[in-house]
Structure 1
């Protein structure tokens, strides 16, 4: 029996109002009398970012299932309640309200987009419920109740601009989805170019669900940019890269892709992805002991073909930081765990990382990687980077 099938025998799924499903991680019989610790997994399981949502859920589920297999925390098991944001801020708020008020969760892990996170923030803070946010974003979140395992501009923009100006040329065309993260990342990119001598020759934002990028690709070609910088999210990014490759522009224009990972490789041919450069914090091509451990655990749980991406590593690592907070606090009291989970060092899939007590952000190990032969290979290791304090 495969690892995935074994897991399914230990879980039950049922529909909860709206598009919300509950995954109950069954405890051993001897521990069933202890009240479970309920965790909301609030991810985009529909709406265009479902690949990222499922990867985030897998990472979180791996951490909590492994904790349950080890006996939970003081005999208490974790119960995961899945909820779908549908990649929509209004829906994200509704689901967060349900998880906090009706489901009585001790914490929520998710969502993906900055728009959803920002829409949820008042609900999270009113409910005084820890939000575990494990997606790269534009920076600036400062909240007692939001802990971020997130690549910020200091982690990704600053290093990639330096790398690109040195190795790819000094002219850039920026293309992103039309929401907060791409606009703010590009603003940081422009500011960094001003410092390094690079120049941005074009900037454009595309609507969700775009099917035809012909006009945008024509502008990129006519601009003479040496590099196109992509911050398009989800399935739209796959569409863009496929159309870009079909034009033949790869022969003259390099691609830098924020957020690029194995999730996107799975939707592209080797030829279409070849040469794409991306900053990241983890890639499955790593062979360090900690990387091999993560890959082994994911494939044991979800099957030999399971994708092990930066998204999986981030959610797995932050969930484990929360679990350690529960251990330190001696239970799932929201305020006590909020205080206890910070100021800790943990081994991620790519070296030790540190959750700072001040702004509740993680100092991350940063890589620059390139798609080569259908894999994301590391071409530069930058070590652990401490971003600017987000509360200042």
Structure 2
């Protein structure tokens, strides 16, 4: 079911299979989420194939490491498309990679982008399953600003497109709720000086830190934050924290670390997904999280379009529901040990 990209290039177009380029981070700051993403995508493909396939074709996944530099990922995807080796693109990755892939796939092949995104127009043939910064933050900023008079906020993120959009959306929303931004910092990927950042946060007198750091950088910051003894004094909210990131950070028992994502493994398993995942991969499976679950939804969405003979760039909407028929919506969850529990 998993096809090496070099093999796909050599073989070219396939009549027997619909080949989906699965662009997920297998390296880089988000690389720790890759194993669960592969497991979820494979589960989605297996379910599609077991249900009879896609109009006589099997669904296969061509893996593309989207954890590299945007131009490298785009070059690989351009080669696959030029060779007719893939029929669609799906996955999650940072928004700079997303922009590069959008330019390559525009008006050419369907592209389903599954995680929270930076907002703006998605482009022809691009489907967004996640939320924009405003959609993520709207249910949260007013609630937390009103709680215990939490009025002083710090914004800390990586220096690329998605955190820029998060900060741009957060500032007016916080001001409208009566809060102020006392610190605004963006740091390079992989170059986060966590001790220095934590020191700046402490000196700023902030009450809440809105984190748009991702992957390993987010975990590094949270570990330094705990070492500094600030977990009971300053509340943290992240738009990119899910179970893998919490495990990487060593867990959190303070009750003052929150995540804003659309899905958590600790939720009631309404559609049975977590149980199907556990049944398929067993007790040693990679930890489930929102990124991986979004990847599952993306593959299922591609499969549904193909089964309906609607997998073409002109027929795609810019947003889409998941397999349950509902669009992803952000939820607020609190870290408790090594789980994230929905609080509203």
Q: Same fold (TM over 0.5)?
A: yes
Matched, 1:303 2:282: yes
The correspondence of residues 175-214 of structure 1 with structure 2, limited to 5 A, is: 175-210=156-191, 212-214=193-195
Q: Deviations over 1:284-304 (max 9, x none)?
A: 1111431xx110121223322
TM-score computed with the length of structure 2 as normaliser = 0.90
How big is the shift at 1:83? 1.2
Preserved CA contact (<8 Å) 1:132 1:147: yes
In 1: Cα distance, 2:178 partner to 2:317 partner: 41
Matched, 1:152 2:126: no
In 2: Cα distance, 1:160 partner to 1:198 partner: 13
In 2: Cα distance, 1:343 partner to 1:140 partner: 12
Tell me the equivalent position of 2:333.
Answer: 369
Matched, 1:166 2:146: yes
Q: Mark the runs of 5 or more structure 2 residues left unpaired by the alignment.
A: none
Tell me the equivalent position of 1:245.
Answer: 226
Q: Mark the runs of 5 or more structure 1 residues left unpaired by the alignment.
A: 1-10, 23-32, 354-362, 381-392
Tell me the equivalent position of 2:71.
Answer: 90
Tell me the equivalent position of 1:327.
Answer: 307
Matched, 1:131 2:106: no
In 2: Cα distance, 1:324 partner to 1:342 partner: 16
In 1: Cα distance, 2:58 partner to 2:317 partner: 18
- Other structure's SS at 2:264 match: coil
1:76 to 50, 57, 63: 57
2:16 to 28, 35, 43: 35
Preserved CA contact (<8 Å) 2:20 2:88: yes
- Other structure's SS at 2:138 match: helix
Matched, 1:286 2:267: yes
Tell me the equivalent position of 1:390.
Answer: none
Matched, 1:339 2:315: yes
TM-score computed with the length of structure 1 as normaliser = 0.80
How big is the shift at 1:222? 1.0
How big is the shift at 1:47? 1.8
Q: Deviations over 1:223-275 (max 9, x none)?
A: 11001111111111111110111001112111111111111122122346753
In 1: Cα distance, 2:317 partner to 2:251 partner: 41
How big is the shift at 1:347? 4.2
Count of residues paired in the alignment: 339
Give the superposed CA RMSD: 2.5
